[in-house]
Structure 1
């Protein structure tokens, strides 16, 4: 059912207009001592029936939160529904639960939560509010000590095979002539790790085909914000010969792009097509966040909500890919991309995931030397 339901995810994602959310955030009555920010997505701020709770990043992160919110807002605007987002006071399970309950108290019937960090909060609330439906992106509900995994009948978990699109990006980068690469990721949550591991393996596969040796600098930050430290790290890599960096972590990408602009480097974006963010962006490792959310909302309002299921989407479901129409590759062609994508979709290529290695330098590579550094 997942394949039938979401076979157009990538096509929809590629055609969605990438714009910042309009309007300014307002303060809504909070369920905790600190107010959560909220924004109207359609016609009302109070009583919105579709709610989204932001992860650690900002709603305008040009990446994960924004991509998910755009799916919520696009559906609401097209179907005359009201929507609203809430920004928790802190990135803790308690504050996530507080924001979810605040949204429900304000009238939300569907709550969308983007990110692995919502797995425990959704586990906590899903059976407490059986009349509310929950869409959990990038995770499956479980309790705090991982001893119990349960996706209730009013919840659907959606994960993506980020290692596959990371592989596409790494392979393309090397085929395009880059031999010194970088991966600068956000907090190493499973999705970010899968992106990075795939990037390493794709680069290694291309290097083996070409008979060249390549090097990759690799690090993660402790969050998803743009920081002077991340920018300085990226700048040092460019100065030392790195030509392209996969910026994988929300607003962390802004730090990498700033460094690339100053040092003449190149960038691979993440989650959505980030080509409009900087002339340095060569391509983006995309997954169909907005389209997947819209599909789930369509199912909810058609009384076909796939509650109780955990869906994993990848190349076989056309749920991820590189936006070749806006990519700036010089040697890697559309024909190359099509053949590579089909090898993933068919299952011909199998990849190591986040659970298969303790760190990127422990991956089984032959031609890619990975140097993991601390930020």
Structure 2
């Protein structure tokens, strides 16, 4: 009986170890994954986020919402993997490729090197990236004319500032984020050349506390409108503005990438510079579904409706200012106004 009991105990322990190991396989080292209810399609589309996370209220969230829309239409089954650091980029991308995904997205310019590496090692895989150009036949690169959309919200800020001090909070200092700054500053100067402009870079896209501190410093210096291009770090800018609004201080934030008034409210969001990451992700994913996917580069600007300002802007921006915005938009599309894309 002792031998039977011992053998049974060993088998139970062994089974427990196996079950535990199986459970651990579903825990991604990169910090989480998810997928919605399965669609009817055999097409699978994966998305790897930057460190800002899928719930950054901005860039990554727009991309994920686009994929959820594709899935809801029955076009594909979708899933994301969240990166905690740049060390997760290649493992996350490789996981989708090795699992036979029809398309793997890298969201953000920081994933460019990882996309290039994985694409080179897997020439039959299809990959796509937002905000960077990867020169490979199996990669679709989508970039935007952020400077053009930022020019328009610069016009709004320049006309609506009461203190004549306007701020910009960026995430990581890079040519991409500086395109936001360059266009924003040019828009301000076009309508209010006497306005003082202050820029601050947080150095990260996932640090709301740093964004809050940067905003506090600017508001303390008399800035009354801040445009952020900082991903989840920008959440801190909104939090600081909301706190000051409650105490009676009249300050504003200009959102980025999506209509951030839907997340943070009209009381604090003056307008938002829309960057149609969602449209780009949906479009390219649909190309895979339709069998028309091709590598290459596509840049979306005002003429493509790839950038612009939020439709809800009329809640806080007067009609005469919006009319001026439309006039500048028409001039930019016609080539009459050239918007700088570098900070000078």
Q: Give the TM-score category using the shorter length.
A: 0.7 to 0.9
CA gap 1:52/1:106 in 2 versus in 1, 3 angstroms: same
CA gap 1:272/1:27 in 2 versus in 1, 3 angstroms: farther
CA gap 1:36/1:102 in 2 versus in 1, 3 angstroms: farther
Please, which of 326, 329, 333 is the counterpart of residue 345 of structure 1? 333
Question: Residue 205 of structure 1 corresponds to which residue in structure 2?
Answer: 190
Question: Residue 18 of structure 2 corresponds to which residue in structure 1?
Answer: none
Cα distance in 2, alignment partners of residues 164 and 345 from structure 1: 9
Q: Secondary structure at the match of 1:203?
A: helix
Question: Residue 235 of structure 1 corresponds to which residue in structure 2?
Answer: 216
Cα distance in 2, alignment partners of residues 35 and 271 from structure 1: 24
Alpha-carbon contact 1:177-1:331 (below 8 Å) kept: no
Alpha-carbon contact 1:28-1:35 (below 8 Å) kept: no
CA gap 1:266/1:136 in 2 versus in 1, 3 angstroms: same
Cα distance in 2, alignment partners of residues 160 and 135 from structure 1: 14
| Structure of larger gyration radius | 2
Query: What RMSD, in angstroms, separates the aligned Cα atoms of the two structures?
Result: 2.1
- Give yes or no for the alignment of 1:64 onto 2:59: yes
Please, which of 153, 168, 183 is the counterpart of residue 169 of structure 1? 153
Alpha-carbon contact 1:286-1:323 (below 8 Å) kept: yes
- Give yes or no for the alignment of 1:311 onto 2:298: yes
Structure 1 residue 155, shift from structure 2 partner: 1.2
Please, which of 49, 68, 72 is the counterpart of residue 54 of structure 1? 49
Question: Residue 125 of structure 2 corresponds to which residue in structure 1?
Answer: 132
CA gap 1:37/1:277 in 2 versus in 1, 3 angstroms: same
- The one-character-per-residue Cα deviations of 1:85-110 (angstroms, maximum 9, x if unpaired) are 00134223xx2111111122233121
Structure 1 residue 247, shift from structure 2 partner: 1.7
Please, which of 70, 76, 93 is the counterpart of residue 71 of structure 2? 76
Structure 1 residue 172, shift from structure 2 partner: 1.4
CA gap 1:65/1:35 in 2 versus in 1, 3 angstroms: closer
Question: Residue 181 of structure 2 corresponds to which residue in structure 1?
Answer: 196
Alpha-carbon contact 2:48-2:81 (below 8 Å) kept: yes
Q: Secondary structure at the match of 2:332?
A: helix
Alpha-carbon contact 2:44-2:103 (below 8 Å) kept: yes
Alpha-carbon contact 1:36-1:87 (below 8 Å) kept: yes
Alpha-carbon contact 1:42-1:73 (below 8 Å) kept: no
1:299-338 map, 5 Å = 299-307=287-295, 309-327=296-314, 328-330=316-318, 332-338=320-326
Question: Residue 38 of structure 2 corresponds to which residue in structure 1?
Answer: 43
Alpha-carbon contact 2:38-2:71 (below 8 Å) kept: no
Structure 1 residue 293, shift from structure 2 partner: 0.9
CA gap 1:86/1:270 in 2 versus in 1, 3 angstroms: same
Question: Residue 221 of structure 1 corresponds to which residue in structure 2?
Answer: 202
Question: Residue 184 of structure 1 corresponds to which residue in structure 2?
Answer: 169
Question: Residue 231 of structure 2 corresponds to which residue in structure 1?
Answer: 250
Alpha-carbon contact 2:153-2:184 (below 8 Å) kept: yes
Structure 1 residue 196, shift from structure 2 partner: 1.0
Q: Secondary structure at the match of 1:305?
A: coil
Please, which of 97, 108, 133 is the counterpart of residue 90 of structure 2? 97
Gaps of 5+ in 2: 1-22
Looking at secondary structure, tell me which structure has more helix per residue.
2
Alpha-carbon contact 1:175-1:332 (below 8 Å) kept: no
Structure 1 residue 132, shift from structure 2 partner: 2.0
Q: Secondary structure at the match of 1:277?
A: helix
Cα distance in 1, alignment partners of residues 100 and 287 from structure 2: 20
Q: Secondary structure at the match of 1:79?
A: coil
CA gap 1:126/1:68 in 2 versus in 1, 3 angstroms: same
Cα distance in 1, alignment partners of residues 159 and 80 from structure 2: 41
Alpha-carbon contact 2:120-2:136 (below 8 Å) kept: no
Alpha-carbon contact 1:61-1:251 (below 8 Å) kept: yes
Cα distance in 2, alignment partners of residues 332 and 241 from structure 1: 25
Cα distance in 2, alignment partners of residues 240 and 88 from structure 1: 36
Cα distance in 2, alignment partners of residues 268 and 112 from structure 1: 28
Cα distance in 2, alignment partners of residues 300 and 350 from structure 1: 35
Alpha-carbon contact 1:116-1:190 (below 8 Å) kept: no
